[in-house]
A and B are shown apart, each in its own frame.
Chain A
Amino acid sequence: MLQKVFYIFVKIAVLFLLGLNVRRKDILPSEGPAIIVANHNSHLDTMVLMALMPLSKLKGIKPVAAADYFFSSPWKAWVSEHVLGIIPVQRKGTDRTSDPLEGCYQALDKGQVLILFPEGSRGEPEEMTSLKKGISYLAERAPSAPVVPVFTHGLGKALPKGSFLLVPFFCDIFVGKPITWAGDRTQFMNTLQDRFNELSSEKTFAPWE
């Protein structure tokens, strides 16, 4: 309920302040098990991807985010869990006895949709860094879940890391063809990287200096 109310406001804000140009929205999964993989430039990334989903499906869509950031204080943890529906992941593995992706496996088993940012950090806005391999373990563990790459541009301009001032920009969201697990982690990572390269060259973007 709280989540729905929150995302009604987010939808309005995203529509009015940003304005989205979404290509191939029809292949963005709102029912699982499925894994949405996006590049990461801004806190807005998760908001915007969630805002693209129908309100009735929000409960089954789980952004995967760093436990050290989103669960660092009790109230942050409460908002992250109850409003944003985040599944926490330990970025720095101090505890080797449990699998950091355990929460993700469970969500996929329950038929939920995961939203993942395999760059691991927002980093420099509008610059893509190398993809972390964790995603390939997930794909291997849940081979029936399609992995859908989503490339976004402009959100890092609107709200980059380290800034609290939201400046309106039109943003592009390009949804790519789903990748299915073919049995090899390295090959999977290469395919994913290729998909992102294709998506990011679909349009020439205005430079950000």
Chain B
Amino acid sequence: MTLQAIHWALIGIWGLLTAASLIVYILSKRSEKNLSELVQRTQSWWVMVALFTVAFLVSNTISIIVFALISFLALKEYFSMIPTRRADRRVLFWAYLSIPVQYFWVYDSYYGMFAVFIPVYMFLFLPFASLLSQQTEGFLKSVGTLNWGLMLCVFSISHAAFLLILPPTEGNSAGGAGLLLFLVFLTQFNDVAQYTWGKLFGRRKIIPGVSPNKTWEGFLGGVGTTFVLAIITAPLVTPFSLAHAAAAGLLIPVAGFIGDVTVSALKRDLGVKDTGSLIPGHGGILDRIDSLTFTAPLFFHFTRYFYY
């Protein structure tokens, strides 16, 4: 087996993770402060990167199933976190069932149905299913919250999976797999970069009413670092020209930031700190993929518009 661009990219990610883990290890030995959460976070990254790598290397189908599972866990977290009506149990059940259907369209490369199934058919069907219980009290709130959750956790995330089945092009032998790696890596890297810049240099709060720990320094530092990394890595795994690589290098960190604060606003409204406790050190799965819910559909359409 010869190593292709995609393998080099994966090796690079593992190298970066190893370097980051060493830094965290040294910091935790030297520092007086308790860094157990940071250590836990780093350990969780190893697990997540390992799972992702295995799925990625085995087959596209496995990767699509993994994304479907991520959507399921995220939607379950969302439904467990928000106020729901007992009368809507059946509606929630239908919402869950839409996950395998939506990911089947991905597997089937059926773009037309993939693009409308949730925003059109489920959008129309869920309120209908809800009114069958004949409980109108709380109807609007219920339909609104259920649809938003479905869009965020299933529709948005499924765009990441759809990248996978985009075929290789002349300028990009890595095909959809390369694009997915580019998106997921930069989105997650940007989260860490914004966090790190913010911890080191953060002074001016950017949106204290929603997320008091986010700063302008963190945001701009993260955007800058991700931008540079996008330009370096784009020729390896994407068909992007320099201008498009630069555009993607801005799109991902900015959209990622907005996704992050959107889920923060939701958590503030509900009065919870984390969306769950599935990933030690990080919180719930929605805490980890909040930025991806915004970057995945935007990056997908950016790529599709210019290259497919």
Contacts and interface: CB of A to CB of B under 8 A. Distances in A.
Interface residues on B, range: 20 to 34
Interface of A: 19, 21, 125, 154, 157, 160, 163, 165, 167-170, 204, 206-209
Contact of A21 (B79, B90, B277): B277
A170 B76 contact: yes
B interface, by DSSP: helix, strand, loop or mixed? Answer: helix
B287 interface: no
Contact of A206 (B76, B80, B86, B89): B80
Nearest to A170: B80
A209 B138 CA distance: 9
B276 A169 contact: no
B81 A206 contact: yes
Contacts of A154: 80
Contacts of B288: none
A207 B142 CA distance: 12
A169 B89 CA distance: 11
B90 A165 contact: yes
Contacts, number: 50
B89 A163 contact: yes
A209 B271 CA distance: 18
Given A21-B277, A157-B84, A206-B83, A167 B270 contact: no
Nearest to A20: B277
A171 to B, nearest CB: 8
A167 B93 contact: yes
A168 B138 CA distance: 21
A170 B272 contact: no
A165 B93 contact: yes
Nearest to A154: B80
Contact of B89 (A19, A165, A204, A207): A165
Query: What 8 pairs across the A-B complex have the smallest Cβ distances?
Result: A170-B80, A207-B83, A209-B85, A169-B80, A167-B89, A21-B277, A168-B76, A167-B92
B84 A204 contact: no
Interface string B63-97: 00000000011001101111111100110110010
Contacts of B93: 165, 167
Contacts of A204: 271-272
Contacts of A160: 86, 89
